[in-house]
Structure 1
Amino acid sequence: MGRQNELVPKFVQQKAKNLGYEGEKWLHNLKDIIHDLEQRWDIHIKKTLEGGSEAFVAEVTTQDGDNAILKVMMPQMEGNSVIGQEVEALRIANGDGYVRLIKEDISQRAILLERLGPPLHQLGYSTQEEIEIICSSIKYSWKNIQQPHQLRSIYDLIEWFRNFIPKLWKDLGKPCSKALIDQSLTFLESRLTNINFTTAVLVHGDAHHGNVLQDSTKPQPSFKLIDPDGLIGEPSYDLGILMREWLDDLIEDPLEIGQKRCALLRELTGVDTQGIWEWGYIQLISTGLFLIKSGQEPFGYKMLKVAEAWKENSS
């Protein structure tokens, strides 16, 4: 498999190295971890895949000759998904609307998943068509959870954002105005006030067009979600993710395109525009700062530029 660092994309390498000792250790030990999983799970690596942003991802064959996906996540980094929450969400969904979980080893941060088709962004759809497909997929997956669970609450997430955003802003040398940060905190307070937990559902938490994959077992184009954050909360949180995506489209006319997108999401899902807009703004700020920290400064600053235009509409 070559040198350990070459097992994962350069972006994942850099994110792991940013963690210091723990990340370097993971990169150094990754080949041995994979070999151990191949032996214990009776799987064989066919080829590594480039899609992961925080993990080693590979197509494998199982002992039955079926194709599956092996994912070995890097050590926990603030702002990344938590493997225990991801596994919990996949267990609850049980393959319905989400990728099917086959095996997991939390101690090794590894999961084995059913093999799906290509991600939505590789299929040649327009931005609006992608939005329609994603909304259809996440609407189907927004289900009330009756069984006991250990999913993270949206209340906990709001509290996390309230600490994460201003701290990261200061750590990065204040790359945008304080007014932008203050607006995100105002919107977090608004969400805390307006959440109706009687309608809380399983939300994905990061349902962009790279996390929506074609289900090739179905006769008609059908899609499943991968890489859930594992949250119980309000549907508008998922739609806030879509508000920050397709960044090149947004940057052309941030306010007008943002408002049109918000209205479209409302039309497709029936979710109120206030929640969609507020979570969209929060996502622009938090993701923009995180991208700057992760070495993707051009994308991060573009998100902050969009947030600047949106703030003027929110004042």
Structure 2
Amino acid sequence: MPDRLVRTAVRWCGEEAARPWLAALPDVAAEYLARWNLRLERTVLPGGALSLTLLVRREDGTPATLKLGFVDRYTAHEAEALAMWAGRGAVRLLDSDVSRGTLLLERLQPDVSLRSLPEDRAMLEAVEVLRHLWITPPEDCGIDLVADRAGLWTRTMPRRHAALGEPCPKALVDEAVHLCAELAASQPRIVALHADCHHGNILAAERAKWLAIDPRPMLGEPAFDLGALVRDRLATLVAETRPQAVVRRRVTWLSDALDLDTDRVRGWALVQALALGLWCVSVGDPAGEDLLSVAEWLA
């Protein structure tokens, strides 16, 4: 079992939910290897934060990837989004058991992500991937709405901020709550969003140069989808001499590259950094303080 998976599952999901799920993974893996006639090659290390990822061969010898994921509100619609994209800009879904969080995916190059490129080049490639993903969803699409998530954040951010002893200025939380309401109510168009499209979630492939993996899909405006890129390479970002300038430069560059409103990109990036930062602090994730700093730099 990958050490990273054990650490993040317990920290993010809690002992009560994580330990039984982790304990069952070997049997679940064996079950689906047999059900889908797969031959195991190796486990991907360090692997996903909330998934066990196995490289396998199908019965006809075709390489594939078996993903056993923890199902929550953020991952519940991953298969639906991948099926909707049908391989355009994202990894292709070959089979699935949605209720168990089990996906059979085409094989990409698991050890080669956009993190292997210099930041400027990686941003260019990420932008091209996002262009393919931003499609109009079908009317019966069940994926969560950005507007609903924003409504949730307006309630949870102030409560969490107070419960944690105000780890950042209250004015920043007030601004984020205001932005949630304002931006959610004025979205210019609704498309399918990846919602976690950072450099580590875009892998090298054969049928396309780069393809996205691990979406936490939502339906909303494109500007929302750039938050992960604005705060990407977090450890490197906070070590910069002038990190605020770097963050704001990313906002401007991404907005211009995709012809989006800079204020909306900045606003959603701030909201996401603050909401995620407060949550990370609440579960003891060391990234929390850095994410709160990103939110302040965007204010």
TM, length-normalised to structure 1? 0.86
Across the two proteins, how many residue pairs are aligned to each other? 294
Distance 2:197 2:231 in 1: 11
Distance 1:310 1:202 in 2: 25
The amino acid across from 1:216 in the alignment is: E
Secondary structure at 1:284 match in 2: helix
Distance 1:287 1:223 in 2: 27
The amino acid across from 1:241 in the alignment is: A
Q: How far off is 1:108 after superposition?
A: 1.9
Tell me the alpha carbon deviations over residues 194-243 of structure 1, each in whole angstroms, 9 at most, x when there is no partner: 212xx21111111000111112234xxx1111111221110001112211
- With 112-121 and 50-59 compared, the bigger mean Cα shift is at 112-121
Give the one of 23, 47, 52 matched to 2:48.
Answer: 52
Contact 2:251–2:265 (CA<8 Å) still a contact in 1? yes
Alignment of 1:187 with 2:179, yes or no, is yes
The amino acid across from 1:96 in the alignment is: R
Give the one of 249, 262, 271 matched to 1:273.
Answer: 262
In the other structure, the counterpart of 1:236 is 223
Distance change >3 Å, CA 210–CA 106, structure 1 → 2 = same
Contact 2:6–2:22 (CA<8 Å) still a contact in 1? no
Distance 2:144 2:32 in 1: 28
Distance change >3 Å, CA 293–CA 46, structure 1 → 2 = farther
Q: How far off is 1:185 after superposition?
A: 0.7
Contact 1:97–1:225 (CA<8 Å) still a contact in 2? yes
Contact 1:184–1:282 (CA<8 Å) still a contact in 2? yes
- With 17-26 and 238-247 compared, the bigger mean Cα shift is at 17-26
Distance 1:116 1:158 in 2: 33
Which sections of structure 1, spanning at least 5 residues, go unmatched?
A: 1-6
Distance 1:233 1:103 in 2: 26
- Overall identity of the aligned pairs, in %: 27
The amino acid across from 1:204 in the alignment is: H
Tell me the alpha carbon deviations over residues 171-204 of structure 1, each in whole angstroms, 9 at most, x when there is no partner: 43432232222121111122123212xx211111
- With 252-261 and 103-112 compared, the bigger mean Cα shift is at 252-261
Distance 1:143 1:149 in 2: 12
Distance 2:144 2:201 in 1: 20
Distance 1:45 1:33 in 2: 13
Distance change >3 Å, CA 72–CA 172, structure 1 → 2 = farther
TM, length-normalised to structure 2? 0.90
Which sections of structure 2, spanning at least 5 residues, go unmatched?
A: none
Tell me the alpha carbon deviations over residues 35-83 of structure 1, each in whole angstroms, 9 at most, x when there is no partner: 111111111221111230111111111111111111111253xxx7222
Q: How far off is 1:119 after superposition?
A: 4.0
Distance 1:260 1:225 in 2: 24
Distance 1:107 1:193 in 2: 32
Distance 2:49 2:74 in 1: 11
Contact 1:119–1:209 (CA<8 Å) still a contact in 2? no
Give the one of 200, 206, 230 matched to 1:216.
Answer: 206
Tell me the alpha carbon deviations over residues 103-126 of structure 1, each in whole angstroms, 9 at most, x when there is no partner: 111232211110112443343x21
Contact 1:166–1:181 (CA<8 Å) still a contact in 2? yes
Secondary structure at 1:136 match in 2: helix
Give the one of 26, 32, 41 matched to 2:27.
Answer: 32
Contact 2:187–2:221 (CA<8 Å) still a contact in 1? yes
Contact 1:86–1:230 (CA<8 Å) still a contact in 2? yes
Contact 2:33–2:39 (CA<8 Å) still a contact in 1? yes
- With 246-255 and 133-142 compared, the bigger mean Cα shift is at 246-255
Distance change >3 Å, CA 37–CA 171, structure 1 → 2 = farther
Q: How far off is 1:278 after superposition?
A: 0.3
Distance 2:63 2:164 in 1: 43
Mapping of 1:1-315 within 5 angstroms? Answer: 7-16=1-10, 18-49=13-44, 50-76=46-72, 81-83=74-76, 85-117=77-109, 118-123=111-116, 125-146=117-138, 148-196=140-188, 199-218=189-208, 222-247=209-234, 248-249=236-237, 252=240, 253-297=242-286, 299-311=287-299
Secondary structure at 2:278 match in 1: helix
Contact 2:151–2:181 (CA<8 Å) still a contact in 1? no
Distance change >3 Å, CA 285–CA 21, structure 1 → 2 = same
The amino acid across from 2:203 in the alignment is: L
